[in-house]
Amino acid sequence: MLRGTGVSPGVAAGPVRVMTGAVPEPPAGRRHAGDADAERDRALAALETVGADLEERGARAGGEARDVLAAQAMMARDPGLAGVVTDRIAEGLPAPRAVFEAFNVFHAALSRAGEYMAARAADLDDIRDRAVAFLLGMPAPGVPDSDEPFVLVARDLAPADTALLDPSKVLAFVTRDGGPTSHTAILARAMGVPAVVACGDCLELPDGTMVLVDGTSGEVRPDPTEQETAAAHAAAEARAAALDVGTGPGATADGHRVPLLANIGGPKDIEAALSCGAEGVGLFRTEFLFLGRTTAPSEEEQEAAYRAVLEAFPHVVVRTLDAGADKPLAFLPPPDDEPNPALGERGLRLMHSHPGVLTGQLRALARAAAGLDTELRVMAPMVADVAETRSFVAACRAAGLSSAGVMIEIPAAALRAADLAAEADFFSLGTNDLAQYAFAADRQISGLARFQDPWQPALLDLVAPAARAATAAGKDCGVCGEAAGDPALACVLTGLGVTSLSMSARSLPRVRAALAAHTLDQCRRAAEAALRATDADGARTGARAELPGLEPLGL
């Protein structure tokens, strides 16, 4: 039995497909056996195979993926590339090394040809790795391709890896790295797929092994019996049924309203949000729309995506592009060689180097909302101080947007929340990054997951003053970090004065049930108990003692 941290509930059983890591560089200094023609044929056949495979995957995926993959297939079949490969083989290099060097020649040329072409260079590396892997008899890198549904096992998953995933094929995610607030976890929850992260030995599972994954307990059982699989499914269904308490508006037992909102990544998430009873959208992560893109989306394309979401809900909070660190967007490159991308130009900061992207997005949003009754609120990620708040609010006003807020996800912003509240129309607390920066602990590093525990009293110490400052200024202060989806913590946050909770759609029923089972006064007492604790476990236990309605609901 393997154990990790369950981060997206549900159980699934299926065969493992391991996502392979980096393809090794074929060693320099070797020579082929002497038959240059045979070696050349081998190399060109590998390039053709890769091209055909990319094209076929694109045809199956359809939509935008088809165009992206068709363009990559053309690169693999480029006659100029074949020419360099042939020359290198004529000089004596073996096929894998010749292919490797030929791609690098083109990579260097593209990198020198400006920002747009430089973004294409990353695509070339992927095609190179596929061709080299084929020649070395290794599985293709990246998300595995499979006709049957599978359990995806990986070291970690970048958001870009998952952009091309077919949700009907992936039964569950299991990763060696990542914590509860890593984007693997967030994406798995959005897809409604069970997920286990920080699962130490998962990469040792041979491809094809049947596993049973429990996204609540974090257990991954190889070769389960039929009885074990059936029992796990039954338990998961019983848990889900116990929480089926309707889809009404969020409120405490004594009627204190706490709107329950969904975190979404685009129009594809609308259906799940509505079926789980989301009252609106509290966080639209717009960068998720454009992860696989090498060029900036047009304003028209953005407008269409935003409009689809705005038409589906009465209230929507849209976050402007939050690119950088673990969510790089090729068309928004950070400065070269940042040693600590999470502390570098990301989120709103990146917009200083790309101001046109922000104003274009704000214009697209204003146009998308025109003529609709939907209440559109727009907020910026990674805001640190008053100056950034002022300039963002001014940019929103210039675009004709009436509600401009800021995310509180940097401790400096939480500490000076009163100053920020004087400028912004609302706050939304990003507890994932707030924990990352408060504890100086990268949220992607599984060994540091303890610091990502949103029950840490130090994190709650930053939430409390932000909520107080917003209340004093008569402004809303929601939470849209993963903390909002924890039923007990949702009660604590309500007790701290937070005015709305936004989470992965599938967490909504649990949180709705927890709130409905307690009065505002109980929530306040739970918050006081959590703040009095000296560590996360103490905060959890102390708060739960004030929330007697959780246990009967199995929460």
Positions touching ligand PEP (CB under 6 A) are 283, 285, 322, 409, 430-433, 480-481
**Residue 446 interface partner, choices ligand PEP, Mg ion, none, CB cut-off 5-8 Å depending on type:** none
* Interface region with Mg ion, contact rule CB under 5 A, candidates 25-33, 161-169, 205-213, 431-439: 431-439
Distance of closest approach, residue 185 Cβ to ligand PEP, in angstroms: 10
Nearer to ligand PEP, 85 or 186 (CB): 186
Known active-site residue 480: yes
From the CB of residue 125, how many other CB atoms can be counted at a distance below 10 Å? 14
* Interface region with Mg ion, contact rule CB under 5 A, candidates 35-43, 176-184, 294-302, 425-433: 425-433
Its sign, for the CA torsion 455, 459, 462, 463, is negative
**Residue 453 interface partner, choices ligand PEP, Mg ion, none, CB cut-off 5-8 Å depending on type:** none
**Residue 88 interface partner, choices ligand PEP, Mg ion, none, CB cut-off 5-8 Å depending on type:** none
Distance of closest approach, residue 408 Cβ to Mg ion, in angstroms: 10
Distance of closest approach, residue 263 Cβ to Mg ion, in angstroms: 11
Residue 341: what residue type?
A: P
Nearer to Mg ion, 319 or 518 (CB): 319
Angle between helices 487-495 and 520-532 (to 10 degrees): 100
Nearer to Mg ion, 143 or 382 (CB): 382
Nearer to ligand PEP, 86 or 389 (CB): 389
Nearer to Mg ion, 182 or 374 (CB): 182
Residue 528: what residue type?
A: E
- Whole-angstrom Cα Rg for the chain: 25
Contacts of 217 (CB under 8 A, 6+ apart): 6
Residue 302: what residue type?
A: Q
Known active-site residue 107: no
What is the distance, to the nearest Å, from the Cα of residue 247 to the centroid of all Cα atoms in its chain?
Answer: 26
Distance of closest approach, residue 515 Cβ to Mg ion, in angstroms: 24
**Residue 236 interface partner, choices Mg ion, ligand PEP, none, CB cut-off 5-8 Å depending on type:** none
**Residue 476 interface partner, choices Mg ion, ligand PEP, none, CB cut-off 5-8 Å depending on type:** none
**Residue 431 interface partner, choices ligand PEP, Mg ion, none, CB cut-off 5-8 Å depending on type:** ligand PEP
Residue 497: closest CA among 429, 543, 423, 403: 429
Distance of closest approach, residue 432 Cβ to Mg ion, in angstroms: 5
Please provide residue 410's backbone torsions phi and psi, each rounded to the nearest 5 degrees.
-120, 130
From the CB of residue 350, how many other CB atoms can be counted at a distance below 10 Å? 23
Q: Write the interaction track for Mg ion spanning residues 399-418; mark x where CB under 5 A is met and - where it is not.
A: ----------x---------
Distance of closest approach, residue 430 Cβ to ligand PEP, in angstroms: 3
Contacts of 286 (CB under 8 A, 6+ apart): 302, 306, 318, 319, 320, 321, 322, 361
CB 176 within 8 A of CB 157: no
Contacts of 468 (CB under 8 A, 6+ apart): 417, 497
Q: Write the interaction track for Mg ion spanning residues 354-393; mark x where CB under 5 A is met and - where it is not.
A: ----------------------------------------
Please provide residue 429's backbone torsions phi and psi, each rounded to the nearest 5 degrees.
-85, 120
Nearer to Mg ion, 409 or 476 (CB): 409
Nearer to ligand PEP, 296 or 480 (CB): 480
Coil, strand or helix at 424: coil
Name the catalytic one among 202, 480, 491, 523: 480
Binding residue for Mg ion (CB under 5 A) from 433, 453, 476, 546? 433
Distance of closest approach, residue 518 Cβ to ligand PEP, in angstroms: 24
Distance of closest approach, residue 171 Cβ to ligand PEP, in angstroms: 24
**Residue 285 interface partner, choices ligand PEP, Mg ion, none, CB cut-off 5-8 Å depending on type:** ligand PEP
Q: How far apart are alpha carbons 122 and 292 in whole angstroms?
A: 11
Distance of closest approach, residue 220 Cβ to Mg ion, in angstroms: 28
Asked if residue 287 binds Mg ion (CB under 5 A), the reply is: no
Nearer to ligand PEP, 213 or 413 (CB): 413
Binding residues for Mg ion, rule CB under 5 A, total: 3
Q: How far apart are alpha carbons 370 and 402 in whole angstroms?
A: 12
Contacts of 266 (CB under 8 A, 6+ apart): 284, 288, 289, 305, 309
Distance of closest approach, residue 418 Cβ to ligand PEP, in angstroms: 21
* Interface region with Mg ion, contact rule CB under 5 A, candidates 10-18, 154-162, 199-207, 424-432: 424-432
Nearer to Mg ion, 279 or 409 (CB): 409
Contacts of 201 (CB under 8 A, 6+ apart): 2, 176
**Residue 546 interface partner, choices ligand PEP, Mg ion, none, CB cut-off 5-8 Å depending on type:** none
Query: And the tokens for 492?
Result: 């604590």
Per-position DSSP letters for 154-220, written without gaps between them: ES---HHHHHT--TTTEEEEEESS--TTSHHHHHHHHHT--EEES-TTGGGSPTT-EEEEETTTTEE
**Residue 481 interface partner, choices ligand PEP, Mg ion, none, CB cut-off 5-8 Å depending on type:** ligand PEP
Asked if residue 430 binds Mg ion (CB under 5 A), the reply is: yes
The length of the chain in residues reads 555
Per-position DSSP letters for 98-135, written without gaps between them: HHHHHHHHHHHHHHTS-HHHHHHHHHHHHHHHHHHHHH
CB 284 within 8 A of CB 478: no
Name the catalytic one among 32, 183, 315, 518: 183
Chain contacts with Mg ion (rule: CB under 5 A) = 409, 430, 433
> Which residues are marked as active site?
183, 480
